[in-house]
Structure 1
């Protein structure tokens, strides 16, 4: 008689309890005010703020004015949107602990696990993947020209070509690293410019 073996199902991404799903993260980060809220909290030493503090800072960023110049109507508009929509969504995704009665917001460990950064490609600019593809194509073309013995490429030693390619990739990687840091939430005083939409 054949014995039955238990079949272990493959792990499902949606069943992981380590934090929000990718879909939840993309949904949360699709909104500017939610990104700005996370950005603001990441800058604070205790990663906690009141709803009033957050609404004043977001209103200042939105109106491109100093925080002490924010009007009560500008702050109230942001405050209501945070209370009714954005803070509950951040809390539901597990990125913040939101106490609506006290008006306090605190980042959770799940937010830190994301190591969130957004690579924005402004209109009419290359993405980094396109840039690296072009750099690789250029290096391959130069290698082929040198390999075919075409002048002046044949006069450059192979080690010099290798050094040139290594420098090009290292410089490109350094620029990419610095640019990514500029688009990381919580790094600079101003939030990264990531499009519109409240």
Structure 2
């Protein structure tokens, strides 16, 4: 696995976080790229159009899935996308980051 800074850089993107979330919640893996795009488009748009869903799918294919695969967070095959060897570790980093409440001074 790569360094912590790289993990945080990759997780800074909302669509990449959603890919991990969809995989974590899915009862079946692998998930097709189309299925991921439909799920993510539903998060982003109240009632996604076909064009919006296609744009999400294109964005996943061209940018986001490769970044997650480079971290071993996901594995991409002809069957679809599934958790990779580092999925649980990286998802844990994401979960901790989402639940962390910064301390404020009074």
- Pairwise TM-score range, normalised by the shorter structure: 0.7 to 0.9
Query: When you count helix as a share of all residues, which structure comes out higher?
Result: 2
The residue aligned with 2:52 is 74
RMSD (CA atoms): 2.1
Matched position secondary structure for 2:76: strand
The residue correspondences of 1:1-198 to structure 2 (distance < 5 A) are 19-65=1-47, 70-99=48-77, 102=78, 104-114=80-90, 115-116=92-93, 117=95, 118-119=97-98, 127-130=101-104
Gaps of 5+ in 1: 1-18, 122-126, 135-198
Contact 1:96–1:111 (CA under 8 A) maintained in structure 2? yes
Could you tell me whether the CA contact under 8 Å between 2:73 and 2:87 is conserved in 1?
Answer: yes
TM-score normalized by structure 1?
0.47
Normalising by structure 2, report the TM-score. Answer: 0.84
- Note the alpha carbon deviations across 1:119-152, whole angstroms, 9 max, x for none: 478xxxxx5422xx65xxxxxxxxxxxxxxxxxx
Please say which structure displays the higher CA radius of gyration: 1
**How big is the shift at 1:27?**
1.4
Unaligned runs of 5+ in 2: none
* Aligned counterparts of 1:103 and 1:81: Cα–Cα separation in 2: 19
Classify the secondary structure of the residue corresponding to 1:64: coil
Could you list the structure 1 runs, at least 4 aligned residues long, displaced by more than 3 angstroms after superposition: none
- Deviation of 1:21 after TM superposition, in Å, equals 1.7
